[in-house]
Structure 1
Amino acid sequence: MRMLLKITMDTSASNEAIRQGKLLNTLESTLRELDAEAAYFTVEDGCRTGYIFFDLADPSQMPKISEPFFMGLDARIHYSPVMNPEELRKGISAITPS
Structure 2
Amino acid sequence: MRMLVNVTCPIEPFNSMVRNGTAGEIIGRVVEDIKPESIYFTEVDGHRGAVMIVDVAEPSAIPSIAEPWFLNFEAVCEFRIAMTTEDLMKSNLTMLAEKWNGVQMN
Same fold, judged at TM 0.5 (above): yes
Aligned residue for 1:48? Answer: 48
Structure 1 unaligned spans of 5+: none
Name the amino acid aligned to 2:54. F
Cα distance in structure 2, aligned partners of 1:95 and 1:31: 39
Task: Compute the RMSD of aligned alpha carbons.
Answer: 1.7
Rg larger in structure: 2
Query: Could you say what secondary structure the match of 1:57 adopts?
Result: coil
TM-score by length of 2: 0.78
Cα distance in structure 2, aligned partners of 1:49 and 1:72: 14
Contact 1:17/1:72, CA 8 A, preserved across alignment: no
Percentage identity across aligned positions? 30
Structure 2 unaligned spans of 5+: 99-106
CA deviation digits over 1:42-94, x for unaligned, max 9?
A: 11210111001010112222222222211221111111110112212222x35
| Deviating 4+ runs (over 3 angstroms) | none
Aligned residue for 2:60? Answer: 60
